[in-house]
Amino acid sequence: MIEVVDVSKRYGTASVLNHASFTIAEGQLTTILGPSGCGKSTMLRCLNRLERFEDGEIRVGDVVMNGTSAGASSRSAENDLMHRVRQRVGLVFQNFNLFPHLTALGNVIEAPITVKRLPRSQAEDIGRLYLNLVGLSGREHDYPARLSGGQQQRVAIARALAMEPDVVLFDEPTSALDPRLIGEVASLLRLLDELKKTLIVVTHDLDFAEAISDQVIYFEGGRAVESGSARAVFGQPSQAETRAFMNGFRSRQGTERP
């Protein structure tokens, strides 16, 4: 489903992604872990074409994104590429980014109407379906200000799903939630995983990642240092950087391993 090959991203002289490479199979729930500033959120934004990168290549299904060093594309070609990417890759932002002047249903149907050109009635049927899936049936006409943080996040998830993408990206989905709501998010992601959605979750919450992941990718220094099953990466990481990171996590839990 996804192949990232030698992707590099710089802001001025600062290198944020440094020849990052990894693959993600269709239907997997993958978490990307790593210390602050390692490039994991930037990688997520590159996958959705919110950020362009200088070198390398990203493939999402049959859509190919090349680095800017490969040559400038025309405005029309770039717009076409962004349109194709956004239809295949949904993103749930860390701060949800809901439109405050639209209801829950209005937020969910905005993209299907404007991007996919669906008739309003069809978009509303899809919107209600996904709001029901995330547990918000009956809240369709509430504005974001009337919803809790957890409910706003569910609207954001329904909005991403309403485009019926192949891949859904989640940027720090538990960062602003209390432990009870974190458990609800984990349950929702497991449901989407069972529906064979390809999910990529950037998180700093290692307990959450260990509980939900099919695959874990560990980032450090702007590159994917290690990837594997949750059991392998958390239990027996092969790379020294990953072992140091995981032992730091376990030492806080009182379960450090050699």
Per-residue pLDDT of the chain (258 residues; tens, 9 = 90+): 899 999 999 998 899 999 999 999 999 999 999 999 999 999 999 999 999 999 999 999 999 999 988 776 788 998 899 889 988 999 998 888 999 999 999 999 999 999 889 999 999 999 999 999 999 999 999 999 999 988 999 999 999 999 999 999 999 988 867 777 888 888 888 888 888 889 999 998 898 999 999 999 999 999 999 999 999 999 899 999 999 998 877 666 554 444
- Is the CB of residue 141 less than 8 Å from the CB of residue 179? no
Distance of CA 13 to the CA centre of its chain: 27
Distance between CA 237 and CA 42 in Å, rounded? Answer: 24
Distance of CA 70 to the CA centre of its chain: 26
DSSP assignment string, 89-140: EEEE-TT----TTS-HHHHHHHHHHHTS---HHHHHHHHHHHHHHTT-TT-T
Distance between CA 17 and CA 217 in Å, rounded? Answer: 14
| The pair of three-digit structure tokens given for residue 49, joined into one six-digit string | 């074409």
Distance between CA 234 and CA 42 in Å, rounded? Answer: 23
